[in-house]
Amino acid sequence: MSATAPASLPPEGLPGLDPAWSRLVEAADPDGAPRTWHVLDTHHTPAGTADGDREAPVGTLLCVHGNPTWSYTFRDLLAEPPPGWRVVAVDQLEMGYSERTDQSRPLARRIGDLARLTSALELTGPVIPVGHDWGGPIALGWALAHQAQVAGVVLSNTAVHQPPDAAVPTLIRGARLRGLLDAVTVRTPTFVRGATALSRPPLPRAVRDAYAAPYATPARRVGVGGFVRDIPLDADHPSATTLDAVADGLRELAGVPVLLFWGPLDPVFSDRYLHDLEARLPHADVHRAEGASHLAPEDADLAGAVARWLAARVDLDRQHDVEALTRPADPDPDARHGADHEDDLDRTPAWAAILDPARAATDAIVEPSDPTDPVAGPHRISFGELADDVHALAFGLHRHGVRPGDRVACLVTPGRELATLLYACWRLGAVVVIADAGLGPRGLSRALRSAAPDHLVGISRAMAAATALRWPGRRIAASDVGPRLARSSGAATSIPDLIADGAVALADGDGRPDTLLPPPPSGEADAAVVFTSGSTGPAKGVVYRHRQLEAQRDALAATYAIGDDDRLVAAFAPFALYGPALGITSMVPAMDVTAPSTLTATALADAVVATDATLVFASPAALVNVAATAGDLQDHHRTALAGVRLLLSAGAPVPAELLRELTGVLPAAEPHTPYGMTEALPVADIDLATIDAVGLGRGVCVGHPVPGVEVAISPLDSDAATGALTSRPHVTGEVCIRAPHGKDRYDRLAITELASSRDEGWHRSGDVGHLDADGRLWIEGRLSHVITTADGVVTPVGIERRVEAIERVTMAAAVGVGPPGTQQVVVVVTTDPRPGRMQLAPLSLTDRVRDAVDVDVAAVIAVPSLPVDVRHESKIDRVEVAASAAELLAGRGRRRGGRP
Amino acid sequence: MKVLVTGASGMLGGATARALAARGDEVTVFQRHAAELGLREVLGDVADARAVARACEGQDAIVHLAAKVGVVGTAPQFTAANVDGTANVLAAARAHDVARVVHVSSPSVAHAGEPLVGAPAGPADPHGTIGHYPRTKAHAEQLALTAADERAVVAVRPHLVWGPGDPQLIGRIVDRARTGRLALIDRGAALIDTTYLDNAVDALVAALDRAAEPSVRGRAFVVSNGQPRTVAELLTRICRAAGLPAPTRRVPLPVAFAGGAAVERVWAKLERTDDPPMTSFLAEQLATAHWFDQRETREALRWTPRVPLEVGFDRLAAWFADHPER
């Protein structure tokens, strides 16, 4: 098929494409033949218009598309370029609206083509190549040839190498089958159409058509087939050498900022390819845009990400400065092992209390009695036994191939086994990955794919899911996994086997774990990736270093004066793990920890009896059920419960009435509730007496910041945008936190991290609140739930608390309806008795709501139930509430509900 | 300032004329029949160019409210009153070099039945509207704003103005409630903006005073209390103010819509000139959200509603208590 055609301009009317960007540029190709390119260019001045006084750009983003797309992929970047930057997006030759030459263009030639085009464009000054799909190697090839000019690199869903453990993507393999290739890519639009069908969420038809527009006929698609043919699947391929050279050349970019912007749902360039690039570019900022697929620039906000990343990372005055690029994640985790850092001198590692010989005979962990054999009583493990198990498991893991810096997913129920595993991993220098089963299979899949553990330790439920859902990581079975499941799930070993193996090996050695194990990790080494609850969007991985976990332990001990005389019953998963680090006896009561409301008063009391506990930590949902089942308590329970000095209710706001009710169950306990989040805990603390003393205010009072924590407010303007930090009282804004036990960073969410740590050293919590004159923090809601009315911003929690004080109202959500900036406040309530369906509240209740609050409430709606999160069963999804309220209050119109 | 108020026999026109006079303006009112406001009066039909020209002589400003409202009437009747009437006012303003014109328009000039949720004041679009009144008012507003090239013209679109003694909105609702013919369409859950009379008057006066400012001249502003309420609440509050029980009957929208369409046909056949009890347009209006973004209006006119809805309803109740016969 002979197919030459000149370059042309795209037709008008393609969605999101400004015709003023389009230009045709002539450049000689490597053979000296003049070729015409179609290029989108923000700094193109169409003929006949005045050049104006446009300032020279500070730099240029040079965007290179893949196959079978065209420069259209980058239109959002052209529409909203980073301030001061020029954006040039090319249509490669044979592609898009550039010239069809009827020549084959292998990789090397395409890299050369691009260099000649940039010469013709006279691209001087700093350039950041942006490559998507097979545009990646071409953009990188250009970068390696123009290193003096390269100020950064952005790559999206691309590859420079076929990882040995990755099968060739099915789609590519299918397209490459002899005889099929031309049929799929050239003779029919299957491949062209297939590319846009991958997009998530699905693209509007007009956009899909725009992607396919330059590839309408077989003659226009010759280049598409050529591109697929040029993928070097084996070493003999003509382009293999070039691709290898590009891959090997990446080490030369060690001084250049790199952003890897990834769509995780990509069936072609899966996470394997991301990990390959991460290994080659260890200093890269990695952002996995959850929910996005192969066309990540289309599915996710690449323009916003590039702008934020450029502002934070690219310093045009300090190009090629390796020092300037030292980023939180050290490229060489091994360098962090060996406790020879200066700051390690007065550090107490997480596992230190377990190893303390003075404690060896004390109970470390108590487990509830086996319901089938209650006579045996609770099972007790001493600190000495735990220390032996931790050492044995650490050594067993090490012998199994777990290396310092490896990630180990710990899908194990809180209790002895999980504690042993965590402290063994930490001693070994492995990084634990912790995700709550409450995320559900889908949420867990997302979390684990993003964290990409090297090893996965799971109880039977987790192992079955890991097989079915193809979670990453070499499998290690927990003790409850039977041999059949262990086999079917591919588990090479188990925790009990590793402990046994490690114990034997230690005994066979000199018996001194510290000489046989690798040196312990330094305080700077990564210790954990903990996933958020996902109640506010997809769960995010939060990375902690050892010194941050240690600071968290110390903050808990200081805040609650925890000492050797304390014993802990923890019905709240994160806290259950801290007992051994604090050096105190701990126990998880008989309950399903993933379903807090399964905790009964009797189960709690049995645990308190078994440990003679002084501390009880639980979530509000658990405590609600404790209060509800308090009637089942017997005398010996009540005696033991009277010895508890502190009741900590954590995880969500706690109604004061509930705490008061519980003083009947725990008469001597001082009820406290900490405020914090996965990224920083604890931040503040309040006791019941203070809750009662401060009364109703604008929000919920969460008390003073705990020792070592600083809280500042980033004030909200009328659009709910946030400004410079302040500690002035009564100013409402985003709550920002600085603490030695705050998170280190978000994992593979570089853009989210840059946004959250906009003020260096501070974490933006996403919560909105204010400080009062006494320095106490009040939480007024989530930033994403702020209501922007024409009269200013309104926060939900203060309204909700006042409404919930109205008789018969059981729960309230204050939401905004209408466009941001001119929203109306609507209050949605559950009542006793419950309404059968969503409906307008009676006017009498509406009047009482309006009397109770100080903002104009447009409507009050009663619903049978409000949507709450799985983990805490108390955080209201106000976004969902707002959507259903808006629908009810919009009524039915000609264009929405259809013609009546 | 010498101000001519057209259409002063209506509630809003009369109140505006009184408010201007109260602050010291020399007010002339123009309408077909004596309005008994105690102000200088020129009687005539707004469709009569000579009568309008006579009224505009020597004026500094015009507040143009005269219009044919409702759903009954033929297209030529609406065009004569609304389009020709406005053209006459603008021509007279030109002839007598009247510096300012406040053209009172309607939010319906820019919309056609879709839910309006915090909607901005879009451009008047005669082709996008449904019904004679919105279409002719859209034409009229276009004419008026075109004249902003030569003088300070501003269009103000108050949404559902009501107040004590209002025979239109309040009077009809109360009449129907009293005879047991008031029903909610659907669940009555659509949010609707309304404007208490005093606030609408203030907005017209503010528009008159600011008409020459660049951020005001030539533009259209929707005016409301900025406190949308559900239809169910509005009807209940009005009924309560009149000492009547709240409506309890409910009619599904399709039924009301079809019923309204049937009524319209009957009314047309009988050539009746009173407003029919239900129309398809009204049915849809009452089942669909209509509330507006007030930020630009408030900023440009430097006006905010003085009387909150709650106070307005209290005043309405007091008025009904003083007028038991109504």
The tens digit of pLDDT for each residue in B70-88 reads 877 889 999 999 999 999 9
**CB count, 10 Å around CB of A520?**
23
Q: Which residue has the tokens 């010996």?
A: A636
What's the pLDDT tens digit per position in A620-648?
889 999 999 999 999 999 999 999 999 99
Among A790, A817, A858, select the one facing B229 at the smallest CB separation: A858
pLDDT, position A339: 46
pLDDT, position A181: 82
For residue A885, the distance in angstroms to the closest alpha carbon of chain B comes to 10
pLDDT band, very low/low/confident/very high, at B324 (cuts 50, 70, 90): confident
pLDDT band, very low/low/confident/very high, at A657 (cuts 50, 70, 90): confident
For residue B226, the distance in angstroms to the closest alpha carbon of chain A comes to 9
Residue A21 sits at the vertex; the CA angle it makes with A16 and A24, to the nearest 5 degrees, is: 130
Average pLDDT over residues B238-250: 87
Note whether B250 contacts A: Cβ–Cβ < 8 A: no
Query: Is B287 in Cβ contact with A896 (below 8 Å)?
Result: no
Mutate to test the interface with A, among B233, B240, B282, B314 (most CBs of A within 10 A): B233
pLDDT, position A896: 39
Instruction: Supply the pTM of this predicted model.
Output: 0.87
pLDDT band, very low/low/confident/very high, at A658 (cuts 50, 70, 90): confident
pLDDT, position A651: 67
- Amino acid letter for position A419: A
DSSP, res A165? T
pLDDT, position B216: 96
Please give the ipTM for the structure prediction: 0.92
Give the start-end residues of each E strand in A29-84: 34-41, 59-64
Flag the least confident range among A512-521, A786-795, A870-879.
Answer: A870-879
Picking from A42, A13, A229, A230, the residue whose alpha carbon sits closest to that of residue A121 is A42
Q: How many helices (H) and strands (E) does chain B have?
A: 12, 15
pLDDT, position A898: 35
Alpha-carbon gap, residue B94 to B107, rounded angstroms? 26
Of chain B, the percentage scoring pLDDT greater than 90 comes to 69
pLDDT, position B210: 97
pLDDT, position A453: 98
Alpha-carbon gap, residue B193 to B225, rounded angstroms? 7
Query: Is A891 in Cβ contact with B287 (below 8 Å)?
Result: yes
Note whether A81 contacts B: Cβ–Cβ < 8 A: no
Note whether B253 contacts A: Cβ–Cβ < 8 A: yes
Q: Which residue has the tokens 């019953």?
A: A569
Pairing of strands B161-162, A745-746: unpaired
Residue B219 sits at the vertex; the CA angle it makes with B217 and B220, to the nearest 5 degrees, is: 135
> Is pLDDT of B205 > 70?
yes
For residue B124, the distance in angstroms to the closest alpha carbon of chain A comes to 19
CB-based contacts of A306, cutoff 8 Å, min separation 6 = A61, A77, A82, A130, A154, A259, A261
pLDDT, position A239: 92
Average pLDDT over residues A260-287: 95
Query: Is B114 in Cβ contact with A895 (below 8 Å)?
Result: yes
Alpha-carbon gap, residue A584 to A568, rounded angstroms? 7
Q: DSSP string spanning B183-218?
A: EEETTS--EE--EEHHHHHHHHHHHHHHTTSTTTTT
Q: DSSP string spanning A702-719?
A: EEEEPTT-EEEEEEB-TT
Alpha-carbon gap, residue A126 to A49, rounded angstroms? 27
Q: Which residue has the tokens 């300012």?
A: B100
pLDDT, position A332: 47
Alpha-carbon gap, residue A46 to A351, rounded angstroms? 67
Note whether A891 contacts B: Cβ–Cβ < 8 A: yes
Query: Is A824 in Cβ contact with B118 (below 8 Å)?
Result: yes
Pairing of strands B2-6, B26-31: parallel
Among A840, A850, A858, select the one facing B187 at the smallest CB separation: A840
pLDDT, position A342: 54
Picking from A348, A877, A873, A876, the residue whose alpha carbon sits closest to that of residue A572 is A873
pLDDT, position A871: 61
pLDDT, position A594: 76
Query: Is A856 in Cβ contact with B294 (below 8 Å)?
Result: no
What's the pLDDT tens digit per position in A430-459?
999 999 888 889 999 999 999 999 999 999
For residue A789, the distance in angstroms to the closest alpha carbon of chain B comes to 10
pLDDT band, very low/low/confident/very high, at A184 (cuts 50, 70, 90): confident
pLDDT, position A328: 42
Query: Is B291 in Cβ contact with A890 (below 8 Å)?
Result: no
Q: Measure Cα distances from A254 to A22, A111, A153, A275, A342 in Å.
A: 34, 21, 11, 16, 27
Beta carbons of B160 and B195 less than 8 angstroms apart? yes
Among B114, B188, B230, select the one facing A894 at the smallest CB separation: B114
Number of Cβ pairs closer than 8 Å across A and B?
Answer: 104
pLDDT band, very low/low/confident/very high, at A859 (cuts 50, 70, 90): very high
- For residue A845, what is the nearest residue in chain B, using CA coordinates? B233
Note whether B291 contacts A: Cβ–Cβ < 8 A: yes
Beta carbons of A768 and A781 less than 8 angstroms apart? yes
Flag the least confident range among A49-63, A117-131, B149-163.
Answer: A49-63
What's the pLDDT tens digit per position in A707-720?
999 999 999 988 87
Picking from A476, A373, A372, the residue whose alpha carbon sits closest to that of residue A420 is A476
Note whether A843 contacts B: Cβ–Cβ < 8 A: yes
Query: Is A819 in Cβ contact with B118 (below 8 Å)?
Result: yes
CA atoms within 13 A on the CB side of A333: 18
What's the pLDDT tens digit per position in B110-122?
877 788 999 998 8
What's the pLDDT tens digit per position in A548-574?
999 999 999 999 999 999 999 998 867
pLDDT band, very low/low/confident/very high, at B273 (cuts 50, 70, 90): low
What's the pLDDT tens digit per position in A331-382?
444 444 554 555 566 799 999 999 999 999 999 999 998 888 878 889 999 9
Residue A850 sits at the vertex; the CA angle it makes with A845 and A855, to the nearest 5 degrees, is: 150
Alpha-carbon gap, residue A203 to A212, rounded angstroms? 13
Query: Is B236 in Cβ contact with A840 (below 8 Å)?
Result: no
For residue B199, the distance in angstroms to the closest alpha carbon of chain A comes to 17
Note whether A890 contacts B: Cβ–Cβ < 8 A: yes
Residue B101 sits at the vertex; the CA angle it makes with B95 and B104, to the nearest 5 degrees, is: 130
Beta carbons of A863 and A830 less than 8 angstroms apart? yes
Ramachandran class of A122: left when φ > 0, alpha when ψ lies in -120 to 50, beta otherwise: left
For residue B183, the distance in angstroms to the closest alpha carbon of chain A comes to 16
Query: B313: which chain A residues are within 8 Å (Cβ-Cβ)?
Result: none
Query: Is A856 in Cβ contact with B113 (below 8 Å)?
Result: no
Query: Is B293 in Cβ contact with A790 (below 8 Å)?
Result: yes
pLDDT, position B251: 76
> Is pLDDT of B246 > 90?
no
DSSP, res A188? S
Picking from B101, B188, B191, the residue whose alpha carbon sits closest to that of residue B145 is B101
Interface of B with A in 97-116 (CB under 8 A): 112-115
Interface of B with A in 174-233 (CB under 8 A): 186-191, 226-233
Average pLDDT over residues B44-52: 95
Among A823, A850, A893, select the one facing B115 at the smallest CB separation: A893
Residues paired with residue A493 on neighbouring β-strands, in sequence order: A476
Of chain A, the percentage scoring pLDDT greater than 70 comes to 92
**CB count, 10 Å around CB of A456?**
24
pLDDT band, very low/low/confident/very high, at A1 (cuts 50, 70, 90): low
* Chain mean pLDDT for chain A: 90
Query: B227: which chain A residues are within 8 Å (Cβ-Cβ)?
Result: 856, 858
Residues paired with residue A831 on neighbouring β-strands, in sequence order: A809
Alpha-carbon gap, residue B298 to B279, rounded angstroms? 33
Picking from A148, A23, A45, the residue whose alpha carbon sits closest to that of residue A89 is A23
Alpha-carbon gap, residue A634 to B84, rounded angstroms? 90
Among B114, B228, B294, select the one facing A896 at the smallest CB separation: B114
pLDDT, position A80: 96
Note whether B172 contacts A: Cβ–Cβ < 8 A: no
pLDDT, position A3: 74
CA atoms within 13 A on the CB side of B126: 13
pLDDT, position B249: 78
- For residue A850, what is the nearest residue in chain B, using CA coordinates? B310
> Is pLDDT of B293 > 80?
yes
Return the HEC string of A573-614.
HHHHCCHHHHCCEEECCCCCCCCHHHCCHHHHHHHHHHHCCC
pLDDT band, very low/low/confident/very high, at A327 (cuts 50, 70, 90): very low
Q: Measure Cα distances from B268 to A61, B130, B273, B275 in Å.
A: 66, 17, 9, 11
Residues of B designated catalytic: 133
Task: Find the radius of gyration of the CA atoms of chain A.
Answer: 30
What's the pLDDT tens digit per position in A28-66?
988 889 999 999 999 876 554 555 556 789 999 999 999
> Is pLDDT of A595 > 60?
yes
What sign does the dihedral A488-A489-A492-A495 (CA atoms) show?
negative
Query: Is B257 in Cβ contact with A900 (below 8 Å)?
Result: yes
pLDDT, position A900: 32
3-state helix, strand, coil in chain B (%, to 5): 45, 15, 35
pLDDT, position A321: 46
Query: Is A890 in Cβ contact with B115 (below 8 Å)?
Result: yes
Alpha-carbon gap, residue A583 to A434, rounded angstroms? 22
Alpha-carbon gap, residue A734 to A771, rounded angstroms? 11
Flag the least confident range among A212-221, A825-834, A867-876, B67-76.
Answer: A867-876
Query: B283: which chain A residues are within 8 Å (Cβ-Cβ)?
Result: 900
Domains of chain B: 2-162+195-225+291-307 (3.40.50.720)
